Amino acid sequence: MRRNTLYSSTRGVPSPVGARGGERSAQAEAAPDVRPGEPIPSGEGGIDPAKRQRSKRPNSGRPIWLALGMAGIIGGVVAYLASGAAPQGLTQRQFDAAVLDTLSRNPLPPVAARAFQTVAPAVVRVRGYGGSADDKDEGARSIGTGVVVIAEGVILTNLHVVASAERIRVTFADGHESPAEVVGVRPEHDLAVLRAASVPEGQIAATLRPTTGVFPGDTVIAIGFPFGIGPSVSAGVVSGFGREFRSRSGERVITNLIQFDAAANPGSSGGPLVTADGEVIGIVTAVLNPTDQGFFVGIGFAVPIESAASAAGTPPF
């Protein structure tokens, strides 16, 4: 059964613009009857209100790695007892020793690996093409990343990834490819909302989490297709909130951004910025480089999910 957009059980009211939150107004330009400043309508080219309502259901379960880890620990303790290494009258000290023995032989995967395993099924590669029929990477005008926020095929990415494209194709985690169209934009946050023409059976959406309760120094990972290679994972920490970024051309200023130091490069744009629990708190949008080059020097920026989700017509908080 398909999972729609999920939101973390963490709740909070986003702070005002310039602090930790973001503006709520959405702009849409995709459908002919949609004008900037109006919300994305339901029906064709928009988000079905029924699907939007389903997308707000609470998280139905914690990440599978946690369940597997606990099952492994319990199984290890049972095996330890069955082996006769401990008496039937188990003390707390003996129980702790059994748990430590099990963990030493079956360690849990690293934080970044667990986070990636949780969100990876919702990450897609986004390619923009000109008018030719060449759908290979070599013929793409742009390559970026996106994340599924509604299981029926609604995807968040960066506007600059698809702005000049005449045709868009997305590739899902299982290799399924589909044409996609832009159904909404928010230029002030460099965001675009895509709808895929088809999705894989059982496609899931990423779990979204507000930035409330996330602090500088917290672990985050960035997932994307830097230089078309991926999906690639990089880990770092939140460096700060409320940052401002001006494009190299100087034509656009984006405010209220999350600053992070997980590696990002061209092609990472539009990918999710994820907590250690695998919950999306932002959409990677830019890297700062004092030279004219586009490679990463340690400062990346992401649009907070409060702004990104509302751009898709699904404000979760």
State the Cα–Cα distance between residues 175 and 291, nearest whole angstrom: 36
Question: Does residue 176 carry a catalytic annotation?
Answer: no
For β-strands 300-304 and 280-287, DSSP reports them as antiparallel
Token digits of residue 117: 């395993």
Question: Does residue 160 carry a catalytic annotation?
Answer: yes
For β-strands 300-304 and 219-224, DSSP reports them as unpaired
16: β partners:
none
Token digits of residue 96: 């702790």
Query: Which position among 142, 190, 239, 268 bears the catalytic label?
Result: 190
State the Cα–Cα distance between residues 271 and 264, nearest whole angstrom: 9
State the Cα–Cα distance between residues 43 and 53, nearest whole angstrom: 14
State the Cα–Cα distance between residues 52 and 34, nearest whole angstrom: 18
**Helices marked H in the chain:** 49-54, 64-82, 92-105, 111-119, 159-162, 305-311
State the Cα–Cα distance between residues 275 and 8, nearest whole angstrom: 11
Nearest to 156 by CA among 135, 175, 137, 182: 182
Token digits of residue 138: 């070599």
State the Cα–Cα distance between residues 56 and 150, nearest whole angstrom: 10
CB atoms within 10 A of CB 133: 7
Question: Does residue 269 carry a catalytic annotation?
Answer: yes
Query: Which position among 8, 55, 160, 261 bears the catalytic label?
Result: 160
Block residue for tokens 């209100």: 49
Query: Which position among 269, 277, 307, 310 bears the catalytic label?
Result: 269
Could you list the active site residues? 160, 190, 269
